[in-house]
């Protein structure tokens, strides 16, 4: 993992905490939330205030996330809004924190100038003893205040001021005036500079959770469904059907198609499908060469082409399927028809535009895991777990590629691969919420990419 850290591919863009004042504020907030303390004089934090160095010091990566269900957070600066979220338990958590910071940025900027802001992403459950408990999560509410309770005191002061103005003899009430003066010493003049940090609630109908090996829950789609990384029988009884696992490839393909959640890369608007397919083929070839202990050379495309010739008939089916598709795209072959059970099938798709785009691309990364670029971008937890199992040769190739081809232009790479980012108001647009309405069985009837004509 040191290679990834050195290249900025792991723990990248974290916020450094090194000034004594900020360290002390963090320690106070940490004690307030968890009762624990740190002896470190400098460390780094993610968007939630979690520090990998402190997690290592305590031997507890969940010191801000008890039971993995209600993530607590510490804000020292609004600059945390661009930091990643580490040790993700729910796919929606980073987006919720980012929206909370952005929508309250002016207030948080003023509050963090004097104190740390601490809070919690409150789920409707406190732990998940069974998979069925996860389906009780419908909404996440963000509540926060400074350690010195500036927000609470400001609300109290505003109430006293209102009372002072309403009561005819308020100016004679010495106790009321004394309370107002005492609170104003902490909050300042709230009539001129109001302090407010109201609770914010976010609906959570569709999400991924790392609990129980990884589960994708889709409730706000035309045809709800659940996809489990572990065998579906391990989930027991859950209130949403159908329940599928990653081996149910045909069922997943049909379900994604009926919900309009995916689109073929060769039909995706603005996508350079030939370039995307070639790169996927390179990733697959590198994995095959690594498994055979073949020298990758400089891993340039000519080097990889030589390896492909050397492997010959033993080339993986994923590679052959994508090669057939590439031949059609370039006008050098017939239209390929691959069933959902074909190993290359899910490499041919990306998520359709909409509010669930990132979640669907995350699922596709699990179904097409040799595409290491998509795996890194959309499912970092699985990428890091996979990285630990790779040979040093493959680790070097992947790290060099991501540093060279992705880090230099993250937004451009994401746009080229997945299209424009979903808008903030997508959830409120019925056409985006419900998705297009394809005819049932489209994939089975005309093949994985529809009735395309050149």
By DSSP bridging, strand 243-245 and strand 225-228 are: parallel
In tens digits, what is the pLDDT along the chain, a chain of 454 residues? Answer: 889 999 889 988 899 999 999 999 999 999 999 999 999 999 999 999 999 999 999 999 999 998 899 999 999 999 999 999 999 999 999 999 999 999 999 888 888 888 899 999 998 888 889 999 999 998 999 998 888 766 666 666 666 666 767 777 666 666 766 766 776 666 665 455 556 688 899 999 999 999 999 999 999 999 999 999 999 999 999 999 999 999 999 999 999 999 999 999 988 888 899 999 999 999 999 999 888 888 877 778 888 888 888 888 889 999 999 999 999 998 888 888 888 999 999 999 999 999 999 999 999 999 999 999 999 999 999 999 999 999 999 999 999 999 998 988 888 999 999 988 776 444 433 332 333 333 444 444 444 444 443 3
Last residue of a domain, one of 80, 103, 122: 122
Q: What are phi and psi of 399, to 5 degrees?
A: -65, -45
State the Cα–Cα distance between residues 121 and 71, nearest whole angstrom. Answer: 5
State the Cα–Cα distance between residues 195 and 186, nearest whole angstrom. Answer: 11
Last residue of a domain, one of 122, 149, 173: 122
State the Cα–Cα distance between residues 158 and 183, nearest whole angstrom. Answer: 10
Residue 135 inside a domain? The answer is no
Q: What are phi and psi of 223, to 5 degrees?
A: -120, 95
Q: Which domain holds residue 59?
A: 2-122
Total domains, the chain: 2
Last residue of a domain, one of 122, 157, 188: 122
Q: Which residues pair with 142 in a beta bridge?
A: 121, 200
Residue 320 inside a domain? The answer is yes
Task: Name the residue with tokens 């149910």.
Answer: 248
Residue 238 inside a domain? The answer is no
Residue 273 inside a domain? The answer is yes
State the Cα–Cα distance between residues 11 and 294, nearest whole angstrom. Answer: 31
Residue 77 inside a domain? The answer is yes
Residue 54 inside a domain? The answer is yes
């Amino acid at each position: 993992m040191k290679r990834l850290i050195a290249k900025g591919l792991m723990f990248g863009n974290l916020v450094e905490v090194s000034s004594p004042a900020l360290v002390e504020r963090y320690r106070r907030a940490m004690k307030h939330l968890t009762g624990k303390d740190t002896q470190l004089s400098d460390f780094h934090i993610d968007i939630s205030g979690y520090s990998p160095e402190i997690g290592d010091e305590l031997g507890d990566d969940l010191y801000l996330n008890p039971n993995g269900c209600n993530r607590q957070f510490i804000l020292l600066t609004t600059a945390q809004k661009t930091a990643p979220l580490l040790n993700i338990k729910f796919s929606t958590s980073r987006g919720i924190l980012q929206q909370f910071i952005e929508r309250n940025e002016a207030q948080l900027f003023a509050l963090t100038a004097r104190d740390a802001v601490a809070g919690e992403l409150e789920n409707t459950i406190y732990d998940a003893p069974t998979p069925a408990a996860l389906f009780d999560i419908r909404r996440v509410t963000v509540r926060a205040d400074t350690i010195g309770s500036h927000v609470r005191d400001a609300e109290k002061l505003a109430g006293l001021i209102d009372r002072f103005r309403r009561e005819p003899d308020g100016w004679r009430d010495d106790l009321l005036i004394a309370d107002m003066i005492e609170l104003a010493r902490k909050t300042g003049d709230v009539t001129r500079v109001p302090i407010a940090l109201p609770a914010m609630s976010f609906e959570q109908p569709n999400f991924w959770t790392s609990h129980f090996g990884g589960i994708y829950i889709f409730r706000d789609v035309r045809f709800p469904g659940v996809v489990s990384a572990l065998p579906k029988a391990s989930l027991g009884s859950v209130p949403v059907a159908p329940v599928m696992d990653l081996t149910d490839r045909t069922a997943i393909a049909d379900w994604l198609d009926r919900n309009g959640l995916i689109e073929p890369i060769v039909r995706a608007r603005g996508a350079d499908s030939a370039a995307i397919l070639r790169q996927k083929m390179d990733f697959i070839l590198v994995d095959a060469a690594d498994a055979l202990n073949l020298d990758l050379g400089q891993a340039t495309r000519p080097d990889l082409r030589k390896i492909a010739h050397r492997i010959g008939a033993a080339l993986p089916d994923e590679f052959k399927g994508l090669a057939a598709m590439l031949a059609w795209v370039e006008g050098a072959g017939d239209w390929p028809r691959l069933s959902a059970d074909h190993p290359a099938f899910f490499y041919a798709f990306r998520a359709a535009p909409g509010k669930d785009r990132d979640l669907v691309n995350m699922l596709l990364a699990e179904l097409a895991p040799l595409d290491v670029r998509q795996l890194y971008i959309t499912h970092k937890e699985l990428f890091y777990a996979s990285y630990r199992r790779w040979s040093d040769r493959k680790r070097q190739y992947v790290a060099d590629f991501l540093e060279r081809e992705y880090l230099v232009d993250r937004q451009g790479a994401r746009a080229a691969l997945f299209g424009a980012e979903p808008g903030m108001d997508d959830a409120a647009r019925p056409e985006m919420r419900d998705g297009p309405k394809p005819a049932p069985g489209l994939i089975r009837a005309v093949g994985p990419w529809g009735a395309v004509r050149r």
